[in-house]
């Protein structure tokens, strides 16, 4: 474990040095993320200026849904930014060099490129989430603990999705389109699944579990998630993780190496 932590810190430091070389790109990237967040935030404010309750949720609750989505999504982008660069490793043959290293390849290709600028955005998101959560009555310590556990569960699902993207990157040499599909699917869970009609609601909750990933934590915080669905969330994350690892092993067996 100490070796993995040292390698993680080394790769993260190298990633930061590489990122700092593009000063203009950094500011444009950050501004783009801030503007996108602000526009969706403003959209919620405008909607609730006309309608007080949507699908049984108040203005503060809907903001917590949106902010929780941003917390999970931003943390996943912070930790797994190297996945976005994986295609080049496959098509250039550099992945061969990663495979022969005396550590698990996930240390390099999954968590080997931490995005520190996304990390900076986590702090205002967390502050706003706490602020609006305390505007909601009847929030208990028990609900906060359930919320925290489900956030961790969501990160397991996010990790699994990124492992699937890596596996498909080996099988198809295409990462960009796959990761964008993942981003679009998770984007549908910015708001509670109750706003969608069936069968979309069930599909994006249980078959493609972006609802479990993004909306279950907030529902638990409001005390609106039953114990059955609470434990179901952990079962789903376990199944998705095992499936992603199985797909990864299958992809490695089919990997033909550079020039293969």
Asked whether the beta carbons of 7 and 107 are under 8 A apart, the reply is yes
Q: Which residues contact 225 (CB under 8 A, 6 or more apart)?
A: 146, 216, 219
Give the count of beta carbons closer than 10 Å to the beta carbon of residue 29: 15
Q: What is the pLDDT of residue 260?
A: 47
Domain annotation covers residue 260: no
- At 220, the pLDDT band (50, 70, 90 cuts) reads very high
What is the arithmetic mean of pLDDT over 103-108? 91
Identify the domain containing residue 116 by its residue range.
2-254
Domain annotation covers residue 188: yes
How far apart CA 190 and CA 177 sit, in angstroms, is 21
Domain annotation covers residue 106: yes
Domain annotation covers residue 230: yes
Domain annotation covers residue 259: no
Count of the separate structural domains present in the chain = 1
Q: Is the peptide bond before 241 cis (omega within 30 degrees of 0)?
A: no
Give residue-wise pLDDT tens across range 181-216. 998 899 888 888 888 888 888 998 888 999 999 999
Give residue-wise pLDDT tens across range 222-256. 999 999 999 999 999 999 999 999 999 999 998 88
Full-model pTM:
0.89
């Amino acid at each position: 474990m100490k070796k993995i932590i040292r390698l993680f810190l080394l790769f993260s430091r190298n990633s930061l040095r590489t990122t700092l070389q593009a000063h203009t790109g950094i500011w444009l990237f950050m501004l783009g993320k801030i503007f996108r967040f602000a526009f969706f935030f403003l959209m919620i404010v405008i909607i609730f200026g006309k309608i007080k309750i949507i699908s049984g949720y108040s203005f503060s609750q809907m903001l917590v849904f949106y902010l929780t989505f941003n917390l999970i999504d931003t943390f996943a982008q912070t930790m797994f930014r190297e996945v976005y660069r994986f295609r080049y490793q496959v098509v250039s043959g550099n992945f061969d060099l990663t495979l022969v290293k005396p550590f698990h390849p996930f240390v390099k290709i999954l968590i080997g490129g931490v995005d520190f600028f996304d990390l900076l955005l986590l702090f205002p998101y967390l502050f706003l989430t706490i602020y609006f959560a305390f505007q909601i009555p009847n929030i208990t310590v028990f609900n906060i603990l359930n919320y925290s556990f489900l956030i961790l569960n969501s990160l397991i699902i996010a990790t699994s999705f990124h492992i699937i993207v890596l596996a498909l990157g080996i099988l198809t040499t295409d990462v960009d389109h796959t990761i964008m599909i993942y981003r679009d699917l998770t984007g549908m869970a910015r708001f509670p699944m109750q706003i969608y009609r069936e069968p979309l609601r069930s599909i994006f909750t249980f078959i493609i579990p972006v609802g479990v990933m993004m909306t279950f934590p907030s529902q638990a915080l409001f005390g609106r998630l039953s114990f059955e669905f609470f434990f179901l969330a952990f079962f789903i994350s376990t199944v998705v993780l095992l499936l992603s690892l199985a797909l990864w092993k299958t992809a490695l067996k089919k990997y033909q190496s550079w020039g293969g």
